[in-house]
Amino acid sequence: MTEDKDKPYAEQDLQKTQGKGEWLKEKWSALSVKERKLLTKLLAILILGAALMLFAGGERSLSVSEPAPLSEEQNVDSIAAVKDTDFTAELVALLQQVKGAGKVEAIITYEGGPQKVYAYDREERQGEGESSSKTSLAQGDDGPVLLKEDNPSFQGVIIVAEGAGDPLVKERLFEAVSSLLALPANRIAIVEGSAGGE
- Of 151 and 14, more confident: 151
pLDDT for 153 equals: 79
Q: Does 3.40.980.10 match the CATH number of domain 72-114+151-197?
A: no
pLDDT tens per residue across span 33-49 = 888 888 888 888 888 87
* Sign of the Cα pseudo-torsion (182, 184, 187, 188, in order): positive
Phi/psi region, residue 196 (left: phi>0; alpha: psi -120 to 50; beta: rest), is: left
CB 79 within 8 A of CB 108: no
pLDDT for 116 equals: 81
Helix (H, G, I), strand (E, B) or coil at 63: coil
The burial of 85, by beta-carbon neighbours within 10 Å (0-12 exposed, 13-18 middle, 19 or more buried), is given as: middle
The arithmetic mean of pLDDT across residues 67-89, rounded, is 52
The arithmetic mean of pLDDT across residues 75-80, rounded, is 43
Map out the domains of the chain as residue ranges.
Answer: 2-56, 72-114+151-197, 116-147
pLDDT for 87 equals: 80
Phi, psi of 67 (to 5 degrees): -65, 145
Rounded Cα distance between 139 and 121, Å, is: 9
- Beta-strand ranges (E) seen in the chain are 104-111, 115-118, 120-126, 131-137, 139-140, 143-144, 146-150, 153-161, 188-192
The identity of residue 36, as a single letter, is: R
The arithmetic mean of pLDDT across residues 99-112, rounded, is 87
Contacts of 11 by beta carbon, 8 Å cutoff, 6+ apart: none
Q: Is residue 75 pLDDT above 50, yes or no?
A: no
Rounded Cα distance between 158 and 167, Å, is: 16
Contacts of 62 by beta carbon, 8 Å cutoff, 6+ apart: none
Helix%, strand%, coil% for the chain, nearest 5 = 50, 25, 25
**174 — pLDDT class (breaks 50, 70, 90):** very high
In terms of pTM, does the model score above 0.95?
no
The arithmetic mean of pLDDT across residues 47-62, rounded, is 63
pLDDT for 161 equals: 93
